[in-house]
């Protein structure tokens, strides 16, 4: 039987993952409207990845005999001051998601739920990659500034991202 505390926490995580997708899609729209197609592509792929994460939790809750209860998703911001601002928010957001995943893992450990610990290990590893990726983009954008030809090159680099 699936632990109710963990079930509730995973339902909450589904909401957070879907919010992340919504957040990144909003950022993608901003980048698109500011003629940064590479960043728009990167962010849209990130939004898609977050939806996939939500569906992993969705399937897992069902696989364990739990019930998925979808929650309201807050509206994400739509205005940003620059591409650097966007990616600084990406970096900050991924740190928050890491804390949420770690909290889930702590609950799984406390409840001696070994299958959930195994499933969550994938997310723990994924968050290392997510934070590293966001930090790399922030570092590049800080190096080049908020306008000019170097920003164009960073946008092209972001556009090279492939989905997984």
Convert the pLDDT of each residue in 55-91 to its tens digit: 999 999 999 999 999 999 999 999 999 999 999 999 9
**Does some domain include residue 73?**
no
**Does some domain include residue 108?**
yes
> What is the CA angle 26-13-54, rounded to 5?
60
Query: What's the structural domain count of the chain?
Result: 1
> Can you give the CATH number for the domain in which 8 is found?
1.20.1260.10
Task: Determine the structural domain holding residue 50 and report its residue range.
Answer: 4-68+78-159
**Does some domain include residue 85?**
yes
**Does some domain include residue 14?**
yes
For residue 1, name the pLDDT band (cuts at 50, 70, 90): confident
User: Mean pLDDT of all residues in the chain?
Assistant: 94
**Does some domain include residue 164?**
no
pLDDT at 149: 77
User: pTM of the full predicted structure?
Assistant: 0.93
Distance (Å, whole) CA 7 – CA 115 = 13
For residue 104, name the pLDDT band (cuts at 50, 70, 90): very high
* Mean pLDDT within 24-29: 98
For residue 163, name the pLDDT band (cuts at 50, 70, 90): low
DSSP of 54-115: HHHHHHHHHHTT--------PPPP---S-HHHHHHHHHHHHHHHHHHHHHHHHHHHHTT-HH
Residue 32, C-beta contacts closer than 8 angstroms, at least 6 positions apart = 40
Minimal CA–CA distance to 124: which of 113, 136, 116? 116
For residue 125, name the pLDDT band (cuts at 50, 70, 90): very high
pLDDT at 150: 81
**Does some domain include residue 20?**
yes
For residue 112, name the pLDDT band (cuts at 50, 70, 90): very high
* Mean pLDDT within 7-15: 98
């Amino acid at each position: 039987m699936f632990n109710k505390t963990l079930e509730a926490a995973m339902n909450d995580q589904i909401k957070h993952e879907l919010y992340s997708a919504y957040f990144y899609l909003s950022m993608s729209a901003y980048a698109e409207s500011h003629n940064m197609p590479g960043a728009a592509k990167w962010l849209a792929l990130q939004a898609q990845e977050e939806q996939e994460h939500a569906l992993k939790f969705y399937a897992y809750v069902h696989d364990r005999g739990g019930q998925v209860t979808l929650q309201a998703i807050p509206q994400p911001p739509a205005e940003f001051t620059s591409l650097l601002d966007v990616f600084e928010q990406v970096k900050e957001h991924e740190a928050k998601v890491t804390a949420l995943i770690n909290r889930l893992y702590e609950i799984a450990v406390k409840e001696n739920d070994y299958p959930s610990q195994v499933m969550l290990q994938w997310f723990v590893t994924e968050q290392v990659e997510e934070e590293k990726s966001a930090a790399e983009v922030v570092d590049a954008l800080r190096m080049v500034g908020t306008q000019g030809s170097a920003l164009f090159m960073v946008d092209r680099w972001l556009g090279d991202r492939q989905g997984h």
